[in-house]
A and B are shown apart, each in its own frame.
Chain A
Amino acid sequence: MASTTALAHGHDDQDHHGHDDHHEPGFWQKWVFSTDHKMIGIQYGITGLLFLFFGFLLMLIMRWQLANPGDPVPVIGGMLQAVFGDSAFSANADGVKGVLTATGYNAFGAMHGTIMVFFGIVPVAFAAFGNFVVPLQIGAPDMTFPKINMASFWVFFISCVIMLASFFVPGGAAKSGWTSYSPLAGVADMGPGFHPFFNGQTLWLVGMVFNITASLLGAVNFIATIIQLRAPGMTWMRLPFFVWTQFVTAWLLLLAFPPLEAAGVMQLMDRAFGTSFFMPTGLIVNGQLAAWSGGGSPILWQHLFWFLAHPEVYVLILPGAGMVAEIIANNTRKPLYGYKALVGAILVLGFLSFIVWAHHMYMTGMGAKVAGFFQTTTIIISIPSVIIITALMLSLWGGSIRFTPPMLFATAWLPMFGIGGLTGIPLAFNAVDLYLHDTYYVIGHFHYVVAPGTIFAIFAGVYYWFPKATGRMMSPFLGHLHFWPSLIMLNGIFFPMFLQGMAGVHRRWYDGGATYEQIIKPVIHWNEFMSVSAFLLAIAQIPFIINFCWSIFKGKKVVNDNPWDATTVEWVAPSPPGHGNFEKPITVYRGPYEYSVPGANKDYTPQTEPPISEKFPTTAPAGVPAH
């Protein structure tokens, strides 16, 4: 200890090594540059929810156009044109502003997808809930690398700013699809009227590079935390299923994102430095041979993109599945059915998800060997998915079900995810995909998985963990008012898409198919039905927004730290938890779902409750955590 006094300023006493200041952190350190996982989780959550809302608004404008092609957006049309510029909106024949142009539709479509996936769902389901809940559920004081955690949020925030800014540069936001395929993405937003660097397509790439970097930093943190900071007694098979899903999701992000980051850099090189990574020889642009050296491969972009984008869809669903599992166990008052099968299933799912990607590329001229390989792995990957949903459904059997707001959303998740998953199976076969590719069938399929799928899981998680984060309950009445119309309207929007898709309606027609009406006549009328459902869905979110905001300040205070009578460790901490989370060191004695244990004096036995025979606080398993 003596050697430390050689320094001029201060000394660090041995015992206080590593302790934070005993002073209360200032405003900036507490609310903005916090290294506390709970605050970072909330930051991700608020930012992500705002982006989900923004992406939703983009979709509403698109849906207006699809049902009323060529008509100005009512009431706010003029404002939209003023905000988003004249490439996205124009005036109709009568001079009324606010008609979404084809260019605008493409930009809104590309950005709706990008925003919902990378700036909405992943930040909320993975980063927000993960950051807030996982350390609490494993009994840890924080994540392993709190400063890197903070850095990951701020890098993410920079990516948000860049993506938003891209709407307001000359020419508007990226419009080459969320998939950004070359060669279109290589030539888009270039030429007169566009800035050579500050254009939508280039900014999209820069924003994605920052977003990916943030995700990678986060993924490292999650994996390290779950491996290293489990409390004594928290063995792998005692982990709450939500932690398992976060663990697998983090691995998917860690290993699948980098090739897309590499591809993004290469596409940036194509745009900024005129390289031909993805630009083929002999490309004709605007009637002229393009000034690239050529020799590049558009297919290579697709491979590198989908290598990430397929595991990405499991990134979107797994955290949600985990949240649903927690909520089902808690609200059926019985253990989950098939915990071991669930764990095995997501491990296999995670592994397989890396080798199915080219089922998104059946239309690229694949031969029988490679197409056969991907069809096989794609069909096999449906097995663990079915295991997961079956186990969760069977978990309801014999349960004493409480239909709290989280349980409403969690229960509805089951058939909705079921429809989403089952409608994916025809797409696994290239013979069928040949017909369904790029139709509304695909859009219906994946929206069922993410919209009444993941987003319902997110709502469930918000209602469930709101009391832990705030110490107050959300209103169940407003919860019902949010849930029932949302469920109905989501089906109203997305079910007809299967019908339209099977009739051949293309996924990116900006006018809803009006130009091709003679082909799709029997199904084109669904556009109005779907658009009306979308607007009603928007209205159904108002109770949620009111509930959320009002309950933070005026919600009914919880009577204890564990208002749901739950078994998992996060409910041991105060609501809300303070810095360092737990008032006493955590030791885990049992599995995560010991509800209704025969002979117990209550219908739930928390993980931290010692075995009944011991009356005294016992020693933890020799200080050595069981593996």
Chain B
Amino acid sequence: MQIPYETTARPDTGLYNAKLGIWLFLASEVMLFGGLFSAYVFLRLGADDGYWPMGLLNVPIGTMNTAILIASSVTVVLAWAALKMRQWAKYKFYMLITIICGIIFLAVKLTLEWPEKFVHFGAFIKKDKWAEYEAYLGNEHRTKLGLSPRPEISGHLHAVEVAVAPEKKGDFDSFLIKHHLVAEAGTDPAHPVLVVKDDHGHGPRPSIAEKLVRIPGVKAVAYEVELDAVNADPTSPDNDRPHFIPRKRSDKVATIKAEDISSWSAFAPKHSSYFAVYFTITGLHGLHVLGGVIIFIYFYLFGEKLYRKNPEHMANRVEVSGLFWHFVDLVWIFVFPIFYLL
């Protein structure tokens, strides 16, 4: 039993089945990413002034990844063209490059971009306490210039200061051992605390710190933060707006009282609407990239049999998956400026 129009076009539509099918699927994908972009717009429009961060993503790396994805879009269409021209070796060459580019894109995202966010720390200071932390926020300076306020102190955890109820010391100690942390007594006799660090002299990862302060009987007192440059020198003109070269770290350490913080976390999805929608969209986009790579690997490794039997059918398959790949590239063309630049 043969399904008609698998490789030849139906005369009145001018299309073969898979091409029609993929465009229908892409229509649904437009609606999917459209829904996500709508969410982005409304969350951004609804955000209070200063609560939509900018300059937190690495623009040079993002630009490079964009270029890699664009290159792979070129090579996949060249791979299809090679099949139409019955040049099998060229097809394999271009398809291999496409696959490699796709893998590099994902690797960059998963090794260079995402992990460093999960160890980054950010604390939103309560509005009525901004004045106390003016040295790190610089809001007087920003108001004078007509810039949005800066409500957050960010950097890397240097230490977490906690008070531990005596009867829970055992749970606390086992937690420290389990996560390779050490605690020293604080230096201020008036405020007895335990200062928790990891065994390299820095603070615990934010995800570990979260678990630490949630242990029953353990109360967070303060967070010592190795500041990002924007908080170390908030009134410097260098730090008024984001730059192409990403924000640097400083040597300065600031201590933030836990009671002055409205919320804190790593630069993870829960940090803010910005990171929530960033991780969701780039994550979903990344899954689409992965899907495309898998399909291309299949065509690269197992395509020859179909090509020898019916090269036009093979060309159509590559064309159709190429269309999917171009759509994924198209989405990224919007994602990149929206999240990295604006």
Binding site for B on A (CB under 8 A): 3-4, 6-7, 12, 17-20, 140-142, 144-146, 148, 216, 219-221, 223-224, 227-229, 254-263, 265-266, 269, 273-277, 291-297, 300, 304, 307, 579-580, 624-627
A-B contacts at CB below 8 angstroms, number: 166
Give the complex CA separation of A211 and B276 in angstroms: 24
CB distance from A161 to the nearest CB of B (A): 22
* A contact residues around B13 at 8 Å (CB): 227-228
* A contact residues around B4 at 8 Å (CB): 140-141, 228-229
* Interface: B165 (CB within 8 A): no
* B contact residues around A274 at 8 Å (CB): 265, 269-270
Q: Which of B13, B18, B24, B305 has the most CB of A within 10 A?
A: B24
Q: Which residue of A lies closest to B22 (CB)?
A: A220
* Interface: B235 (CB within 8 A): no
Contact A3 B36 (CB under 8 A): no
* Interface: B166 (CB within 8 A): no
* B contact residues around A141 at 8 Å (CB): 1-4
Give the complex CA separation of A263 and B270 in angstroms: 16
Contact B39 A266 (CB under 8 A): yes
Contact B20 A266 (CB under 8 A): no
Give the complex CA separation of A625 and B284 in angstroms: 41
Contact B27 A255 (CB under 8 A): yes
Given known pairs A6-B308, A20-B1, A257-B28, the reply for A266 and B10 (CB within 8 Å) is: no
Query: Could you write out 10 A-B pairs with CB less than 8 Å apart?
Result: A4-B309, A19-B1, A254-B28, A258-B28, A263-B35, A269-B280, A273-B270, A273-B276, A277-B273, A293-B124
Contact B28 A144 (CB under 8 A): no
* A contact residues around B36 at 8 Å (CB): 262, 266
Contact B272 A295 (CB under 8 A): yes
Q: B43 is contacted by which of A263, A277, A579 (Cβ under 8 Å)?
A: A277
Contact B31 A255 (CB under 8 A): yes
Contact B32 A275 (CB under 8 A): no
CB distance from B3 to the nearest CB of A (A): 6
* Interface: B299 (CB within 8 A): no
Contact B15 A228 (CB under 8 A): yes
* Interface: B17 (CB within 8 A): yes
Contact B1 A275 (CB under 8 A): no
* B contact residues around A579 at 8 Å (CB): 1
Contact B34 A259 (CB under 8 A): yes
Contact B24 A254 (CB under 8 A): yes
Pick the 3 closest A-B CB pairs, nearest first. A259-B35, A262-B35, A274-B270
Q: Which residue of A lies closest to B280 (CB)?
A: A269
Given known pairs A17-B309, A228-B10, A262-B39, the reply for A297 and B46 (CB within 8 Å) is: yes
Give the complex CA separation of A259 and B27 in angstroms: 12
CB distance from A530 to the nearest CB of B (A): 38
Contact B3 A142 (CB under 8 A): yes
Contact A276 B273 (CB under 8 A): yes
Q: Which residue of A lies closest to B52 (CB)?
A: A295
Given known pairs A228-B15, A262-B32, A265-B284, the reply for A292 and B1 (CB within 8 Å) is: no
Contact A220 B3 (CB under 8 A): no
Give the complex CA separation of A399 and B24 in angstroms: 41
Q: Which residue of A lies closest to B304 (CB)?
A: A7
* Interface: B237 (CB within 8 A): no
* B contact residues around A20 at 8 Å (CB): 1
Q: Which residue of A lies closest to B4 (CB)?
A: A229
* B contact residues around A7 at 8 Å (CB): 305, 308
Contact A229 B3 (CB under 8 A): yes
* Interface: B326 (CB within 8 A): no
Give the complex CA separation of A291 and B124 in angstroms: 13
* B contact residues around A269 at 8 Å (CB): 269, 276, 279-280
Q: B273 is contacted by which of A142, A223, A296 (Cβ under 8 Å)?
A: A296
Given known pairs A4-B309, A220-B25, A277-B277, the reply for A258 and B35 (CB within 8 Å) is: yes
Given known pairs A255-B31, A259-B31, A276-B270, the reply for A304 and B39 (CB within 8 Å) is: yes
Interface positions, chain B 120-134, Cβ under 8 Å from A, are 124
Give the complex CA separation of A435 and B272 in angstroms: 38
Give the complex CA separation of A383 and B273 in angstroms: 42
Q: Which residue of A lies closest to B44 (CB)?
A: A295
Q: Mark B300-324, 1 if CB is under 8 A from A, else 0.
A: 0000010011100000000000000
* B contact residues around A6 at 8 Å (CB): 308
Contact B5 A229 (CB under 8 A): yes
Give the complex CA separation of A190 and B213 in angstroms: 19
Given known pairs A258-B32, A269-B269, the reply for A300 and B24 (CB within 8 Å) is: no
Given known pairs A224-B21, A258-B31, A274-B270, the reply for A291 and B10 (CB within 8 Å) is: no
* Interface: B202 (CB within 8 A): no
Give the complex CA separation of A321 and B277 in angstroms: 41
* A contact residues around B268 at 8 Å (CB): 273
* Interface: B189 (CB within 8 A): no
Given known pairs A17-B310, A291-B263, A295-B43, the reply for A580 and B1 (CB within 8 Å) is: yes
* Interface: B54 (CB within 8 A): no
* B contact residues around A3 at 8 Å (CB): 308
